[in-house]
């Protein structure tokens, strides 16, 4: 009993000294707090798929990514840049096109449309420049950086640099369809 009490007292004393030492100031407390906050924030950020789900404005995109079997890929290491159309962008497509793309027989077209929105590198908005860029789908998209903002194949970028653990999302106001896909053939 005496030994246990002595051990507990010693452990308490060591813990107290460590706590007091940690409370001391070396003039860098703000740096430590900032670093800890950044570390906590980085740990909380999920993959591109997680971030899209949490946002609540990409439900159609998330459903399409799942239907195309791309959720695992876009949850992988990356890095990726995704030009993510909002639910409103999908709603602006011709009537019936989203439903047609989600049919099992049109999976290849769905995969092509979705991967046409993805770059195989992380490109923050500060690195965006006017020009053609290859997508994971294989065809190029045209980025235009002007005084009016950034567009992707004419779609407006409406939010930038939505961070994910495996890349970045730039939100766009239209769905991009690769030149090799004729949407009218999916609607007939």
Greater confidence (78 vs 33) lies with: 78
Percent of the chain's residues with pLDDT above 70: 77
What is the per-residue pLDDT for 188? 77
When computed from its CA atoms, the radius of gyration of the chain, rounded to whole angstroms, is: 24
User: How many CB atoms sit inside 10 A of residue 59's CB?
Assistant: 14
List Cα–Cα distances, 175 to 28, 58, 146, in angstroms: 47, 12, 20
Domain co-membership, 131 together with 154 = yes
- In terms of residue numbers, what domain contains 79? 47-187
Contact 48, 74 (CB under 8 A): yes
User: Which comes out higher in pLDDT, residue 162 or 19?
Assistant: 162
Q: Are residues 139 and 176 in the same domain?
A: yes
pTM of the model: 0.77
Residue 81, H or E segment = strand 80-85
Taking residues 52-61, what's their average pLDDT?
95
Q: 141-173: per-residue pLDDT in tens?
A: 999 999 999 999 999 999 999 999 999 999 999
* Residue 153: C-alpha distances to residues 10, 25, 51, 133 (Å): 69, 53, 24, 11
Token pair of 101, please?
A: 């793309």
Question: Residue 187, by phi and psi: left (phi above 0), alpha (psi -120 to 50) or beta?
Answer: alpha
Lowest mean pLDDT among 6-15, 31-40, 137-146: 6-15
| Residue 103, phi-psi category: left (phi > 0), alpha (psi -120 to 50), beta (remainder) | beta
- CA gap 36, 56 in Å, rounded: 28
Examine the domain organization and report whether 36 and 52 are in the same domain. no
Residue 70, both tokens: 């791309």
Question: How does DSSP classify residue 94?
Answer: P
pLDDT class of 93 with cuts at 50, 70, 90:
very high
- Does 79 have pLDDT greater than 70? yes
User: What CATH number did the domain enclosing 82 receive?
Assistant: 2.30.180.10
In the chain, the number of structural domains is 2
Kindly report the average pLDDT of the chain as a whole number. 83
Residues 3 and 51 in one domain: no
The encoded tokens of residue 53 equal: 């789900």
Query: Do 119 and 102 belong together in one domain?
Result: yes
Answer with the residue of higher pLDDT: 1 or 136: 136
């Amino acid at each position: 009993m005496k030994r246990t009490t002595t051990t507990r007292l010693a452990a308490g004393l060591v813990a107290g000294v460590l706590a007091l030492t940690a409370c001391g100031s070396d003039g860098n407390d703000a740096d430590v707090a900032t670093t800890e906050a950044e570390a906590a924030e980085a740990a909380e950020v999920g993959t591109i798929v997680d971030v899209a789900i949490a946002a609540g404005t990409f439900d159609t995109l998330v459903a399409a990514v799942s239907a195309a079997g791309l959720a695992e890929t876009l949850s992988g290491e990356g890095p990726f840049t995704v030009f993510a159309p909002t639910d409103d962008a999908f709603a602006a497509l011709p009537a019936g096109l989203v439903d047609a793309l989600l049919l099992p027989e049109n999976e290849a077209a769905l995969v092509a449309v979705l991967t046409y929105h993805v770059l195989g590198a992380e490109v923050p908005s500060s690195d965006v420049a006017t020009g053609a860029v290859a997508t994971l789908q294989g065809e190029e998209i045209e980025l235009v950086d002007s005084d009016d903002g950034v567009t992707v194949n004419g779609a407006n970028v409406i939010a930038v640099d939505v961070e994910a653990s495996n890349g970045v999302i730039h939100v766009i106001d239209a769905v991009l369809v690769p030149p090799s896909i004729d949407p009218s053939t999916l609607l007939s």
